[in-house]
């Protein structure tokens, strides 16, 4: 199949690889008497796929909502670091720091923090193309008179941003659905469109809330491939909430584990897998039984290996 050469970088971050990108610092979130998050701290590094896992109700989505400004935690800070590297044209960008904790969602989005939602939140009556073009919203100028005039700046702008949108369509193989209303598409494709819309922002950080929920094994594999493409080809740092442990352990560089609103582990997939607190959270309080299970699993692996 013929594809265009990608001309645009989808990665909006000018942080050098391996430098801290987002710092979650002692964040606590309460809804009345319910503690959704308690003293959560961890750091997301530029260039990582960072998974957040935990049992249902552990506070994963709440944490994501705190980062993207939908919830404002009562305590703690979330800081986004920018700059320190070079931008697309090779100019060096001075380092900067933004406190996300008090910003409204649209301002967080303007810093390039893009996200997808657990339950698809697309603009159902608009076409795939329009949904993706909306991902370009923060990069466009919006004047009532120019829009109504159409010829001139408005049209030029539409065409200019269309080029990047088409690259995202190519990357995610949405060509066949370009002009279809999103509401009429299959679930798996809608999930992909949502990923695409977030990508069109040229994110500094991409937050994906269960991008593979409700998919069969094949669709999951596809989606994992797209996420890896986004990460490896486009170089975007990704925060991923996911329940499927195989996927998480396969594609992430770092894993944070939440349980009852507390961070119980944070490390590489292998470290986390071996962490007794994680085993306890996932397999129950009976540590001894958990160890037996673990040992049995290792034995099996060794036997098959």
Partner 1 sequence: MAATATGIHHRSYESELRLRATRAEYFRLALMGVLLVVLPFVLDNYWLSIANTILIAVIGAVGLNILVGYTGQISLGQGGFLAVGAYTSAILTERYDVPVLFAVVAAVIATAVIGTFFGLPGLRLKGLYLAIATLASQVIIEFVVRRDPGGLLTEGLGYIDVARLNIFGWQVERATFEQQWYLVLAIITVVAVVAARNLFRTGLGRSFMAVRDQDIAAEAIGVNLTRAKLTAFAVSSGYVGLAGALIAHYTEIVSWERFTLDVSITYLAMIIVGGLGSVAGAVYGAIFMSLLPVLIRTAAQQWGDAVPVLKDQLPAVQNALFGAVIIAFLIFEPRGLARLWQRAKDYVRYWPFRY
Interface with partner 1 by CB under 8 A: which residues?
Answer: 68, 70, 104-106, 109-110, 114-115, 117, 121-126, 130, 133-138, 140, 142-144, 146-150, 154-155, 157-159, 161-162, 180-181, 184, 197-198, 201
Environment class of residue 104 by beta-carbon count within 10 Å: exposed (0-12), middle (13-18) or buried (19+)?
exposed
Task: Give min distance, CB of 293 to partner 1, in A.
Answer: 40
The distance of closest approach from Cβ of residue 72 to partner 1 in the complex, given in angstroms and rounded to an integer, is 14
Distance CA 214, CA 273 (A): 24
Contact between 142 and 161 under an 8 Å Cβ cutoff? The reply is no
Q: Which is nearer to partner 1, 140 or 186 (CB)?
A: 140
Q: Which is nearer to partner 1, 133 or 224 (CB)?
A: 133
**8 Å CB contact between 182 and 198:** no
Are the CB atoms for 22 and 42 separated by under 8 Å?
Answer: no
H or E element, residue 284:
none
Q: Within a 13 Å sphere around the CA of 227, how many CA atoms are in the beta-carbon half?
A: 34
Q: Residue 9 corresponds to which tokens in the numbers above?
A: 């970088």
Nearer to partner 1, 34 or 159 (CB): 159
Residue nearer to partner 1 on the CB measure, 154 or 279: 154
Q: Which is nearer to partner 1, 143 or 300 (CB)?
A: 143
Smallest distance, Å, CB 210 to partner 1?
A: 15
- The smaller minimum CB distance to partner 1, of residues 158 and 222, is found at 158
We find the least distance from the C-beta atom of residue 200 to partner 1, in angstroms, to be: 8
In the bound complex, what is the minimum distance in angstroms from residue 214's beta carbon to partner 1?
A: 18
Least distance in Å: CB of 120 to partner 1?
A: 9
Is 84 in a helix, a strand, or coil?
A: coil
- Helix pair 153-171, 217-232: axis angle to 10 deg: 120
How far apart, in whole angstroms, are the C-alpha atoms of residue 53 and residue 58? 8
Q: How far is CA 287 from CA 194, 196, 252, 277, in A?
A: 40, 42, 26, 9
Distances in Å between the Cα of 291 and the Cα atoms of 176, 256, 294, 295 are 49, 21, 5, 6
Q: How far is the CB of 109 from partner 1 (least distance, A)?
A: 4
Report the chain's C-alpha Rg in angstroms.
Answer: 20
CB of 68 to partner 1, least distance (A): 6
Closest to partner 1 by CB, 73 vs 135, is 135
Query: What secondary structure does DSSP assign to 256-267, as a single string?
Result: EEEETTEEEEEE
Q: Rank residues 144 and 285 by Cβ distance to partner 1 and give the closer one.
A: 144
């Amino acid at each position: 199949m013929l594809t265009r050469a990608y001309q645009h970088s989808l990665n909006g971050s000018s942080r050098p690889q391996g430098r801290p990108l987002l710092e979650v610092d002692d964040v606590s979130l309460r809804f009345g008497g319910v503690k959704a998050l308690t003293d959560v701290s961890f750091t997301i590094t530029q260039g990582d796929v960072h998974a957040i896992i935990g049992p249902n109700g552990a506070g994963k989505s709440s944490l994501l909502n705190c980062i993207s400004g939908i919830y404002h935690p009562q305590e703690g800070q979330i800081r986004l670091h920018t700059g320190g590297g070079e931008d697309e044209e090779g100019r060096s960008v001075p380092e900067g720091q933004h406190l996300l904790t008090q910003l409204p969602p649209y301002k967080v989005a303007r810093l390039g923090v893009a996200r997808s939602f657990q339950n698809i939140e697309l603009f159902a009556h608009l076409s795939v193309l329009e949904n993706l073009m909306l991902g370009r919203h923060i990069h466009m100028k919006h004047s009532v008179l120019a829009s109504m005039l159409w010829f001139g700046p408005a049209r030029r702008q539409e065409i200019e941003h269309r080029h990047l949108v088409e690259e995202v369509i190519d990357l995610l193989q949405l060509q066949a659905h370009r002009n279809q209303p999103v509401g009429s598409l299959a679930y798996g494709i809608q999930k992909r469109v949502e990923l695409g819309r977030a990508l069109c922002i040229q994110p500094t950080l991409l937050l994906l809330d269960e991008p593979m929920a409700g998919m069969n094994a094949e669709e999951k594999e596809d989606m994992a491939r797209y996420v890896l493409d986004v990460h490896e080809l486009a170089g975007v740092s990704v925060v991923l909430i996911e329940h499927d442990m195989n996927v998480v352990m396969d594609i992430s560089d770092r894993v944070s584990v939440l349980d009852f609103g507390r961070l119980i582990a944070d490390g590489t997939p292998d470290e986390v897998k071996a962490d007794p607190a994680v085993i306890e959270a996932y397999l129950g309080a009976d540590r001894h039984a958990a160890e037996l299970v673990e040992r049995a699993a290792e034995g099996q692996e060794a036997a098959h290996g």
